[in-house]
Amino acid sequence: MIIQSKLPEVGTTIFAVMSQLATENKAINLGQGFPDYMMSEELTSLVDHAMKNGMNQYAPMPGLLSLREMLAQKVEKLYNNKIDPETDITITPGGTYAIYTALTTVINPGDEVIVFEPCYDSYIPNIEINGGRAVTISLDFPNYNIPWDEVRSKITSRTKMIMINSPHNPTGSVLSETDIEELRKTVEGTGIFLLSDEVYEHLIFDGLPHLSILRYPDLMQRSFVCFSFGKTYNCTGWKSGYCISTPALMKEFKKVHQFNAFCCFTPTQVALAEYLKNEEAYLTVGTFMQQKRDYFQQLMELTPFKPLASHGSYFQCYSYAGLSEENDLELAQRITRENKVATIPVSAFYKYAEDNKVLRFCFSKKEETLEEAVERLKEIKF
């Protein structure tokens, strides 16, 4: 029997490769984006309580209404947008699932999707498995700004969607008001959809606002906006997220969702509906994470690496330009073997492995983990 692969160019993800290498070499893993500290005991207790009280059967297909109602209240308060919890929100098994489902909802064979690189590694395979074509545009290095004139030059009659991500993985860049205005000019008068990946919604630093697409009614009308509870509450293994859109778009989104996951783990939905009443839990996570970024950056001053700006997410990129001619994958693998610290080469976030001599580090770790990692990185030989 012969399988004709739908993703012939795709192999094992760089995250799996580097995590396996970290395990083999007993290295500290600053590659994959997950915390190594405990999450909220209150939230885990709420899940335990829900399970013990019999909340263990199927939830409604779009998610528990009580959870969707709490999310609608949150959106109105934060973004001054009154959305309907009955028609505009679907709870999903993770933000990545929400992204895949949104793409599957609208992308047909031959459609083009504009993607900014470096980008989260699921974007392009998600497009291609639906028969679409990713039109890649490199963000301007080293600040990773969007080159809007190039975006407009790449739009054709086949352009179906533009994907944006803020705060950005892997670089930590964030959209500005200028970006929003340029996006408006770009899509005005077109039938182009938007997919806004906002899984790091609350992990934003330096007093900057999160410019969610939910703030802008004209953009919202053409958008799927995807979020992650895992990133907000430091429970990435829960794989719990949601998507917000207009009633018409969400109706089509749910047609795909109902024949895939159908619904999500009920006890976590019960717990999250209650825990969302604690506004401080999500409003303070950015300050908490900025302290980790700042501490890691302070420690890294003792190494040869040079920091690039990070205004959000779990990550900061560091340059080794001028220190070594090794490509970033070679260096990342050598550091893992020799110095016992795993990172992610940023070239892995480009379709054709653009190498700017940059590694991505995850700073969402315990202080002692960051301290030990930097002690090891201080010994790197260039």
Report the C-alpha gap between 116 and 105 in whole angstroms. 21
Residue with tokens 């975006």: 151
* Secondary structure class of 99 (helix, strand, coil): helix
SS (HEC) of 11-54: CCCHHHHHHHHHHHCCCEECCCCCCCCCCCHHHHHHHHHHHHCC
Judgement on whether residues 194 and 262 belong to the same structural domain of the protein: yes
Instruction: Look up the pTM and report it.
Output: 0.96
Q: Kindly state whether residues 47 and 110 are assigned to the same domain.
A: yes
Let me know if residue 5 belongs to a domain.
Answer: no
What is the distance between the alpha carbons of residues 121 and 103, in angstroms, rounded to a whole number?
14
- Domain-located, residue 96: yes
Are 107 and 242 within one domain? yes
Q: Output the tens digit of pLDDT for each of the chain's 382 residues.
A: 899 999 988 888 888 999 999 999 999 999 989 999 999 999 999 999 999 999 999 999 999 999 999 999 999 999 999 999 999 999 999 999 999 999 999 999 999 999 999 999 999 999 999 999 999 999 999 999 999 999 999 999 999 999 999 999 999 999 999 999 999 999 999 999 999 999 999 999 999 999 999 999 999 999 999 999 999 999 999 999 999 999 999 999 999 999 999 999 999 999 999 999 999 999 999 999 999 999 999 999 999 999 999 999 999 999 999 999 999 999 999 999 999 999 999 999 999 989 999 999 999 999 999 999 999 999 999 9
| DSSP secondary structure code for residue 320 in this structure | -
161 beta partners:
113, 193
pLDDT value at residue 316: 98
Among candidate residues 205, 184, 180, 225, the one with its CA nearest the CA of residue 89: 225
Check if the beta carbon of residue 293 is closer than 8 Å to that of residue 312: no
Side chain identity at residue 295, one-letter code: Y
Q: Which helix (H) or strand (E) holds 105?
A: helix 95-106
CATH code for the domain in which residue 319 is found: 3.90.1150.10
**Structural domain includes residue 2:** no
The first and second tokens of residue 108, run together, are 């047909």
Which amino acid is present at 72?
Answer: A
Pair (117, 187) in one structural domain? yes
Report the pLDDT value the prediction gives residue 11, as an integer from 0 to 100: 83
- Please give, one letter per residue, the 3-state secondary structure of 234-260: CCHHHCCEEEECCHHHHHHHHHHHCCC
Q: Give the chain's radius of gyration (CA, Å).
A: 21
Residues 6+ apart with CB under 8 A from 63: 89, 90, 91, 242, 263, 264, 269
Residues 122 and 46 in one domain: yes
Question: Same structural domain for residues 312 and 325?
Answer: yes
H or E stretch at 232: helix 229-232
Cis peptide before 217 (omega within 30 of 0): no
What gap in Å lies between CA 370 and CA 36, rounded to an integer?
Answer: 11
Q: What is the pLDDT of residue 12?
A: 84
Give Cβ neighbours of residue 212 (< 8 Å, ≥ 6 apart): 78, 79, 196, 198, 201, 225
Q: List, in sequence order, every beta strand (DSSP E) within the chain.
A: 28-29, 89-92, 112-117, 133-138, 159-165, 193-197, 223-228, 241-244, 306-307, 315-319, 341-342, 344-345, 358-362
Give the structural domain span for 35.
14-39+283-377
Task: Give pLDDT, residue 9.
Answer: 85
CATH number for the domain harbouring residue 234: 3.40.640.10
Last residue of a domain, which of 225, 255, 278?
A: 278
Res 307: pLDDT: 98
237 and 97 in one domain?
yes
Number of compact structural domains in the chain: 2
Which pair of tokens denotes residue 331? 């260096």
Residues 343 and 208 in one domain: no
Q: Report the first-to-last Cα separation within the chain, whole angstroms.
A: 49
